[in-house]
């Protein structure tokens, strides 16, 4: 009963811990200058930190200038593929350019270590989630668009058509520079991955094709030998039987109940000679195709060496022209087959440079921010509140300890 009365009395005073509410104001008043001083200092530190840690945010939109990857061996008359990158391919590319290892390779390849802002980007690349926020894919149709159109886009109509790149740095110039660098880095990584696939597998595919063409040539040469032997035999028959040229009883072509029809030896000889000419033409085209592929294999073999010596997609694209010139340096460009391969490689390289380096570019930004993306007033208010309430808590805690420390003395 006595314990209950004591608790009730403490509660009526306003604080069950022995610190009545009426006793709050005297210690606060006595320490008013300390509270004011701490609050002013904290506000000043908060303002200084806000100015020092101010961020300027730049933004840019990088468009993909066509269908990526560029279709190889596509006929000019073929239907133009939809622009952009298929989502499945984009996820594969993003998995590569979102890694810190790939970014470090890009920085080292292009000697960008001393560029202002690069070190900050390296820290950002330690987290894949942060990179996903910096480089966001852009689609021609959103879910809301598809809902309004009452149907889903088909046939690649919702490919990734570009990247929205956002980055905040300590200065507007650094933010703008890093957005441009991220756009260049993304395209460089995509190009490198595409050509690492093409150059590594194309050589093997062409080698297999050359072997298949070689087998086709052997098979058709056997047919040619057969036709030549047959032609020689027919000529011998006709020489022994001159009258057989006017007869129609040497090879059956149809038999009925009433009569039978035959081909003359002359007709058989003509047919054999036609088959021989056709087979010769097939062999000629197979040899020509094989010659073209032998040149292409030599070109892709040299391009693979270039790939092994660089980690930059842009360096590969610009280096392919030098590889082509080295391969055809001692070739006779007056030969139509050699000239055709030379022209094909030239066109492919020109189209690739146009697609990956010229059409794929920033069509908006990178912007140069003039104002901070973070507000100084918010930082000042936060620091003011922390200084004020923190000092009040310390003053009241000290007053409570002085009043109640005798209870803790042993």
Here the tokens at position 175 are 């933010």
Query: In residues, how long is the chain?
Result: 410
Q: How confident is the model at residue 249 (pLDDT cuts 50, 70, 90)?
A: very low
- Choice between 179 and 169, residue whose per-residue pLDDT is larger: 179
The answer to whether residue 127 scores a pLDDT higher than 80 is: no
Nearest CA to 266 among 234, 239, 293? 234
pLDDT tens-digit map of 231-248: 888 788 777 777 655 554
| Distance, CA of 58 to CA of 168 (rounded, Å) | 6
Average pLDDT over residues 269-296: 91
Q: Highest mean pLDDT: which of 142-151, 260-269, 322-331? A: 322-331
Residues 316, 324: Cα–Cα separation, whole Å: 12
Neighbouring residues of 309: CB distance < 8 A, sequence distance ≥ 6: none
Q: Is 176 in contact with 58 (CB distance < 8 Å)?
A: yes
Residue 282 has pLDDT above 90, yes or no: yes
Tokens of 236: 């011998």
The mean pLDDT of 354-359, rounded to a whole number, is 90
Residue 117 φ/ψ region, left for φ over 0, alpha for ψ in the -120 to 50 degree band, beta for the rest: left
Pick from 265, 290, 271: which is nearest to 226 by CA?
271
Number of Cβ within 10 Å of residue 2's Cβ equals 6
CB count in 10 Å sphere of residue 324: 19
Mean pLDDT of the chain: 80
pLDDT band for 398, please (50, 70, 90 cuts): confident
Would you say 264 and 250 are in contact if contact means Cβ atoms under 8 Å apart? yes
pLDDT of 384 higher than 70? yes
Quick one: pLDDT at residue 254? 52
User: Would you say 60 and 162 are in contact if contact means Cβ atoms under 8 Å apart?
Assistant: no
Predicted pLDDT of residue 302: 93
121-146 average pLDDT score: 79
pLDDT digit string (tens) for 311-355?
899 999 999 999 999 999 999 989 999 999 999 999 999 999 999
Interval 172-181: pLDDT, tens: 888 899 999 9
**Residue 156 reports pLDDT greater than 90:** no
* Overall average pLDDT of the 106-124 stretch: 88
Q: What is the pLDDT of residue 6?
A: 45
Calculated CA dihedral for residues 132, 63, 149, 157, nearest 10 degrees: -90
- The confidence score (pLDDT) of residue 400 equals 74
Q: Is 104 exposed, middle or buried (0-12, 13-18, 19+ CB in 10 A)?
A: middle
| Rounded average pLDDT over 199-215 | 91
**Quick one: average pLDDT of 266-287?**
87
Q: What is the pLDDT of residue 73?
A: 63
User: Can you give the pLDDT at residue 3?
Assistant: 41
Confidence grade of residue 44 (pLDDT, cut at 50, 70, 90): confident
pLDDT at 289 over 90: yes
Residue 7 has pLDDT above 50, yes or no: no
Convert the pLDDT of each residue in 45-89 to its tens digit.
766 666 666 678 899 999 998 889 887 665 555 567 788 899 889
Q: What is the CA radius of gyration of the chain?
A: 41
């Amino acid at each position: 009963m006595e314990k209950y009365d004591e608790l009730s009395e403490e509660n009526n005073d306003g604080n069950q811990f022995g610190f009545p509410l009426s006793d709050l104001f005297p210690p606060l008043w006595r320490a008013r200058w300390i509270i004011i001083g701490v609050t002013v200092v904290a506000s000043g530190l908060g303002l200084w930190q806000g100015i020092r840690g101010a961020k300027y945010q730049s933004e840019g939109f990088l468009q993909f200038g066509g269908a990526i990857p560029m279709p190889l061996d596509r006929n000019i008359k073929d239907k133009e593929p939809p622009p952009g990158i298929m989502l499945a391919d984009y996820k594969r590319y993003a998995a590569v350019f979102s890694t810190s290892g790939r970014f470090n390779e890009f920085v080292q390849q292009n000697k960008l270590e001393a560029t202002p802002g690069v070190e900050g980007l390296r820290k950002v690349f330690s987290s894949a989630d942060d990179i996903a926020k910096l480089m966001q894919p852009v689609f021609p149709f959103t879910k809301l668009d598809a809902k309004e159109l009452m149907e889903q886009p088909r046939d690649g109509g919702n490919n990734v058509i570009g990247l929205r790149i956002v980055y905040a740095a300590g200065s507007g110039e650094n933010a703008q520079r890093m957005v441009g660098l991220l756009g260049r880095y993304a395209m460089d990584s995509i190009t490198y991955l595409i050509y690492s696939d093409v150059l590594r597998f194309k050589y093997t595919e062409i080698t297999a094709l050359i072997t298949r063409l070689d087998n086709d040539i052997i098979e058709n040469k056997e047919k040619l030998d057969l036709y030549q032997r047959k032609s020689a035999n027919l000529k011998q028959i006709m020489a022994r039987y001159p009258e057989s040229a006017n007869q129609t009883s040497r090879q059956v072509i149809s038999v009925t109940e009433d009569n039978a029809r035959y081909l003359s030896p002359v007709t058989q000889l003509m047919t054999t000679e036609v088959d021989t000419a056709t087979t010769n033409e097939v062999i000629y085209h197979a040899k020509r195709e094989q010659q073209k592929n032998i040149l292409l294999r030599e070109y892709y073999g040299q391009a693979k060496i270039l790939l092994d010596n660089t980690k930059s997609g842009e360096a590969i694209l610009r280096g392919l022209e030098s590889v082509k010139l080295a391969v055809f340096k001692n070739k006779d460009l007056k030969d139509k087959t050699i000239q055709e391969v030379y022209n094909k490689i030239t066109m492919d390289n020109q189209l690739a440079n146009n697609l990956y380096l010229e059409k794929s570019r920033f069509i908006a930004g990178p912007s140069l921010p003039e104002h901070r993306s973070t507000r100084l007033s918010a930082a000042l208010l936060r620091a003011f509140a922390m200084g004020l309430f923190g000092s009040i808590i310390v003053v009241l805690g000290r007053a409570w300890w002085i009043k109640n420390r005798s209870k803790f003395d042993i």
